[in-house]
Amino acid sequence: MSSEDRKNGRDNGHSPDGIGISIGLTVNGRRVSLDIPPQLTLLDLLRDRLSLKGAKRSCDLQVCGTCTVLVNGKAVSACTYLAYEARGAEVLTIEGVADGNRLHPIQQAFIDNGAFQCGFCTPGMILAAKSLLDEVPRPSEEKVKEYMQGNICRCTGYRKIVEAILDAAGKTVGPTG
C-alpha cells in the first residue's frame, strides 16, 4: 500500500481493520467472487484485484471519464463507484469489448478515424460511446457531443472522436432513432 493510498483511506484490497464483504459479480463474462473492504472502489477492484488495467485513473473525482466502465450496460465512473454496489452485476471493461480477435465496431471506428493519440482516454471513450449507441443506435452529432461531455481528452480535440462514434453508429445494426 502506498502512502498516498493510506492517506486516501484506500487499501487496494485488504481491510486494515479486518472488516470485509463477500461479493460476486460478472466481469467481462467471467464470474468472480471476492472478499473486499467496504470502501474499495470498482476501479481498484478491477485494476488491483483483477489486473484489468484498461480503465485508467486520472482525476479520481468523477470528472474526466478515463475510468469509465459499464455496469449492467450503463456507463459509470469506476473511480467513485463502490465495488460492493456492483455485487451481482455484469461489468464490462475495455478488455471485454472485442469479440475474440475481432474488434468491436466502435474500436475499429476509432482506428479508422484516427480518434486517439496517446490513447489514455480511449478505453473510457469507447465504453461511454458503447453505452450511448446501445441506447441510441443512430444519434445525432449534437447528441454524441452532449453524451460524451463527461469524457475528457487532452490530445485529439474531439472532432475525430465524434466522427468515429458517428461512423460506428452507421455500422452498428439497429433501428434509426
Strand partners, 36: 21
Contact between 39 and ligand FES by CB under 6 A: the answer reads no
Please identify which residue in 45, 64, 144, 164 interacts with ligand FES, judged by CB under 6 A. 64
Phi, psi at 20, each rounded to 5° = -140, 160
Of 96, 176, 98, 90, nearest in space to 133 by CA = 176
Of 124, 104, 119, nearest in space to 168 by CA = 104
Stretch that binds ligand FES, among 13-21, 51-59, 104-112, 134-142 (CB under 6 A): 51-59
The string of DSSP codes covering 39-86 is T-BHHHIIIIIS----SPPSSSSSSS-TTEEEETTEEEETTTSBGGGG
Q: Under rule CB under 6 A, how many of the chain's residues touch ligand FES?
A: 23
Please identify which residue in 59, 82, 103, 136 interacts with ligand FES, judged by CB under 6 A. 59
Contact between 54 and ligand FES by CB under 6 A: the answer reads no
Residues in 116-155 at the binding interface with ligand FES, rule: CB under 6 A: 116-122, 153-155
Contacting residues toward ligand FES, per CB under 6 A: 57-60, 62-67, 77, 79, 116-122, 153-156
